[in-house]
């Protein structure tokens, strides 16, 4: 009779023991980009450094081969804060060097099937890629799309 309570106690103790929690679904963690890395804007006509460009989107073939992650959301932060979050999500994606390029743009159409929709809703987007972008990887977007875009190739000494 005395062994039954002990058995129940040990079973309950096992059930109450902490277990590892699996990572939840969601966007990549935003990890600050170290000062030893360089962020260069690959957008056409951007000039040197980070600048905003209107009306260019990555080509369909580049996106199909290199897209890692896409987030679409309503704008609630400043452009600067949204760009920081997007680029830091790229830097924090996967193992170091997995994400090489990020784009933040406004009026980007959501893809067909996005949350069960027909797509085409214009939102702010953070787009992450596994390869570096160059101005040659862009095509003209339809009028009014991909506005106020900011892009960055993140160079941190990883192999290309």
Token readout for 72 is: 């679409």
Tell me the pLDDT of the chain (160 aa) as tens digits. Answer: 555 445 444 444 444 444 333 444 567 889 999 999 999 988 887 554 445 688 999 999 999 999 999 999 987 788 899 999 999 999 999 998 999 999 999 999 999 998 898 999 999 999 999 999 999 999 999 999 999 999 999 999 855 5
pLDDT value at residue 1: 53
Contacts of 69 (CB under 8 A, 6+ apart): 27, 28, 89, 93, 99, 126, 127, 128
Nearest to 57 by CA among 123, 151, 130, 159: 151
CB 59 within 8 A of CB 151: no
pTM check: above 0.85: no
Task: List Cβ neighbours of 147 (8 Å cut-off, separation of 6 or more).
Answer: 54, 55, 105, 106, 107
């Amino acid at each position: 009779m005395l062994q039954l309570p002990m058995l129940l106690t040990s079973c309950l103790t096992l059930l109450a023991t902490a277990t590892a929690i699996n990572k939840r679904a969601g966007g990549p963690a935003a990890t600050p980009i170290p000062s030893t890395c360089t962020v260069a804007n690959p957008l056409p006509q951007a000039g040197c450094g980070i600048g905003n460009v209107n009306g260019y989107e990555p080509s369909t073939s580049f996106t199909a081969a290199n897209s890692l992650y896409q987030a679409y959301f309503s704008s609630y932060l400043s452009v600067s804060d949204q760009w920081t979050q997007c680029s830091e999500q790229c830097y924090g994606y996967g193992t170091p060097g997995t994400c090489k390029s990020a784009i933040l743009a406004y009026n980007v159409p959501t893809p067909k099937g996005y949350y069960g929709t027909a797509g085409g809703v214009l939102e702010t987007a953070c787009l992450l890629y596994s390869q570096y972008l160059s101005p040659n990887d862009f095509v003209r977007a339809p009028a009014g799309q991909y506005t106020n875009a900011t892009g960055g190739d993140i160079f941190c000494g990883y192999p290309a």
